[in-house]
């Protein structure tokens, strides 16, 4: 990319173009072990800037990688093929909240926790609550279909997206979704962008659904023998006695011991920890919910005392710190995100234990137990041959049990090779064709999500781009 091309681009934009070594270094990393080398970083000032940037990228064959907070764990926001990083971190407003329709209009760089604070004024909340909610953005949540502890009741991000405004890889602007409570107008175009990791379009606005904030939210901690099976517990939690449960989490002894404060207090030596949330409207309902939870955990084999936490939100903030708490020094490790059918969760745990034993590497395990979604952490450099081998074993173990290699973190650059094991040949062809329609020149976040194919979109300058696509 000649310097004069960047200078020409800068003159077309109202936003900033940054090309210092410090800016490029920061924009070349996320929370994964991958590192990219962008040529520059663009802070678009408005939608017209985004359109101009995409048109310029088509003419010059320049890759564009969107980012905001950079919390992605599989390289989704790393510019692995260089080009420009489009930084939406400054697009961080909640534009409006409609308390009657329970919908918020937000910019992609709005941090999840800030949306929660704004929605709470109306006694509403955005249900997806990833562990990184203090840092991750709504745009990033949409890009990876993120979820968190309360997805046990409320589902992932996809269930709460009502509409989007975006700029496609053609340079066209689109506004998809509807303000109507329900609609039957063919396949859901909005849903195509959820989980697409910035490979189909650059999001400029998101309309998210909100739910009524429960009057009472009680957190519960229960000591748990790490050798005890989980499937029975999950089944009970999803039964009639679990009607008030909105989250069911597990932390192994190491992860539980690393949590700050009193969350892990009261456990015996070598015990793990269950964390649950009970939602209710009144003190009477809460008491009944707690009694039901005690019946569940006792029937599943838990024998220790139940510890109550009146502020469930504070409990989840501490739970969200589990990843850093188990390794405050930030040592590199394989951090994974897999899920299986609930009935096979114990088999997955046995396979993970076997991988740790056979490889001679310590493992720390925690996750969203109610959804059979686990985060195994192995103490090994993920870029080493052993680290890559261990990651492959983890992902294949989940897939061989009818599960997934990515429950909520996305695919990014790290898991591309594992997509064909879950999506068959015709499905992969459909995905690639969608990519060609949305992004015919392959400029949006190349090297991510889609498994390599014999024929892929070219990033040579587009002849049709010279005149600039229409917008509408």
Instruction: Write out the residue range of the structural domain in which residue 35 sits.
Output: 3-87
| Average pLDDT by stretches of 10, the chain with 472 residues | 81 97 97 96 98 97 97 96 98 98 98 97 95 93 95 97 98 96 93 98 98 97 95 97 97 85 64 96 97 97 92 82 58 92 98 98 96 96 97 98 97 97 96 97 97 59 45 40
Q: List the structure tokens of 141.
A: 């949540």
**Which pTM was predicted?**
0.92
123 and 206 together in one domain: yes
253 and 180 together in one domain: no
The residues, ordered by sequence, that sit 6+ positions from 387 with a Cβ below 8 Å of its Cβ are: 332, 334, 378, 380, 381
Which among 182, 212, 242 is the end of a domain?
A: 212
Which among 323, 344, 375 is the end of a domain?
A: 323
For position 425, what pLDDT does the model report? Answer: 95
Evaluate whether residue 208 is within a structural domain: yes
If one counts the domains in the chain, the total is: 4
What span, in angstroms and rounded, lies between the C-alpha atoms of 354 and 361? 10
285 and 263 together in one domain: yes
The residues, ordered by sequence, that sit 6+ positions from 239 with a Cβ below 8 Å of its Cβ are: 296
For position 465, what pLDDT does the model report? Answer: 45
For position 463, what pLDDT does the model report? Answer: 42
Which among 182, 197, 212 is the end of a domain?
A: 212
361 and 291 together in one domain: no
162 and 224 together in one domain: no
77 and 182 together in one domain: no
Evaluate whether residue 462 is within a structural domain: no
The string of DSSP codes covering 6-68 is HHHHHHH-SSEEE--HHHHHHHTB-SSS-B---SEEEE--SHHHHHHHHHHHHHHT--EEEES
CATH of the domain at 367: 3.30.70.2740
For position 258, what pLDDT does the model report? Answer: 80
Evaluate whether residue 436 is within a structural domain: no
220 and 207 together in one domain: no
Evaluate whether residue 467 is within a structural domain: no
111 and 56 together in one domain: no
183 and 105 together in one domain: yes
Evaluate whether residue 147 is within a structural domain: yes
44 and 114 together in one domain: no
What span, in angstroms and rounded, lies between the C-alpha atoms of 382 and 402? 25
58 and 74 together in one domain: yes
249 and 236 together in one domain: yes
């Amino acid at each position: 990319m000649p310097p004069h091309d960047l200078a020409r681009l800068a003159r077309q934009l109202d936003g900033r173009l940054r090309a210092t070594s410090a800016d490029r270094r920061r924009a070349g990393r996320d929370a994964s072990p991958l590192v990219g080398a962008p040529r520059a970083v663009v802070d678009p000032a408005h939608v017209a800037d985004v359109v101009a940037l995409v048109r310029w990228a088509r003419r010059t064959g320049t890759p564009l990688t969107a980012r905001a907070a950079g919390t992605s764990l599989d390289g989704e926001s790393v510019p692995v093929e260089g080009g420009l990083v489009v930084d939406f971190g400054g697009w961080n407003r909640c534009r409006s909240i409609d308390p009657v329709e329970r919908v918020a209009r937000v910019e992609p760089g709005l941090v999840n926790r800030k949306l929660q604070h704004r929605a709470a004024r109306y006694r509403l909340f955005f249900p997806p609550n990833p562990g990184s909610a203090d840092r991750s953005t709504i745009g990033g949540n949409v890009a990876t279909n993120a979820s968190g502890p309360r997805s046990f009741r409320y589902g992932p991000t996809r269930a709460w997206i009502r509409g989007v405004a975006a700029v496609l890889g053609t340079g066209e602007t689109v506004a998809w979704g509807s303000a109507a409570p329900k609609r039957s107008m063919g396949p859901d175009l909005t849903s195509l962008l959820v989980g697409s990791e910035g490979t189909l379009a650059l999001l400029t606005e998101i309309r998210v659904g909100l739910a009524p904030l429960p009057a009472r939210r009680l957190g519960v901690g229960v000591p748990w023998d790490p050798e005890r099976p989980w499937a029975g517990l999950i089944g009970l939690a999803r039964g009639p006695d679990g009607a008030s449960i909105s989250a069911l989490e597990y932390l192994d002894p190491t992860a539980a011991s690393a949590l700050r404060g009193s969350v892990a207090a009261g456990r015996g030596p070598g015990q793990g920890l269950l964390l649950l949330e009970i939602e209710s409207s009144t003190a009477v309902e809460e008491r009944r919910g707690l009694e039901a939870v005690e019946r569940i955990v006792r029937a599943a084999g838990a024998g220790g005392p139940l510890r109550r936490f009146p502020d469930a939100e504070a409990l989840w903030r501490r739970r969200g710190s589990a990843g850093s708490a188990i390794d405050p020094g930030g040592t590199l490790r394989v951090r994974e995100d897999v899920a299986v059918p609930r009935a096979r969760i114990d088999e997955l745990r046995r396979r993970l234990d076997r991988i740790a034993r056979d490889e001679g590497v310590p493992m720390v395990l925690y996750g969203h137990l109610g959804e059979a979604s686990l985060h195994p952490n192995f103490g090994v450099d993920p870029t080493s041959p052993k680290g890559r081998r261990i990651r492959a074993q983890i992902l294949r173990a989940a897939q061989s049990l009818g599960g997934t290699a990515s429950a909520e973190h996305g695919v990014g650059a790290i898991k591309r090779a594992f997509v064909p094991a879950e999506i068959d040949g015709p499905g992969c062809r459909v995905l690639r064709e969608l990519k060609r329609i949305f992004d015919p020149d392959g400029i949006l976040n190349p090297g991510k999500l889609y498994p390599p194919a014999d024929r892929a979109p070219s990033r040579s300058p587009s002849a049709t781009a010279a005149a600039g696509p229409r917008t509408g």
